[in-house]
Amino acid sequence: MGNYYTVTTVDQVAPGTLRVFRLRGKRIAVSQVEGSFYAIDDVCTHDDGPLGEGTLKGDEVECPRHGARFSVRTGAALSMPAVVPVHVYRVRVDGKNIQVEWPQ
């Protein structure tokens, strides 16, 4: 288990949106889906595209470059050309703060 770090506040990630924040030098895409918050690497596993610039539909984000889709809940690659999942981080809400677990 790692340490949790505050990346933003709940009012900064509206329902159905995806926002990118930096955590320990890495870009993390945080989304809110059905009242829960999720965090994934902001990097498409197909070609390193910026997932945070993609479209969020339900719990799936579509990469803006080639249309690969990923689950923000599990990181699973859901469509070609991606076949490798994206890294998912544990998220918790502490008061108004969204915190992401950074692995040790």
Please determine, for residue 66, whether its predicted confidence score (pLDDT) is greater than 80: yes
**pLDDT at res. 103:** 83
At 72-90, the pLDDT tens digits run: 999 999 999 999 999 999 9
In 3D space, the residue among 37, 14, 39 whose CA is nearest the CA of residue 29 turns out to be 39
CATH label of the domain that carries residue 72: 2.102.10.10
User: How many whole angstroms separate alpha carbon 61 and alpha carbon 13?
Assistant: 15
Residue 61, CA distances (Å) to 1, 26, 34, 101, 103 in order:
27, 19, 15, 21, 23
| The total number of residues written for the chain in this structure | 104
Q: Tokens 């989304």 — which residue? A: 31
30 is in which domain, residue-wise?
A: 3-102
Domain tally, the chain: 1
Query: pLDDT tens across 24-56, in order?
Result: 999 999 999 999 999 999 999 999 889 999 999
List CB contacts of 34: < 8 A, sequence separation 6 or more. 15, 59
Q: How confident is the model at residue 62 (pLDDT cuts 50, 70, 90)?
A: very high
pTM of the model: 0.94
* Alpha-carbon dihedral 48, 67, 8, 94, rounded to 10 degrees: -110
**Predicted confidence band at 2 (pLDDT cuts at 50, 70, 90)?**
confident
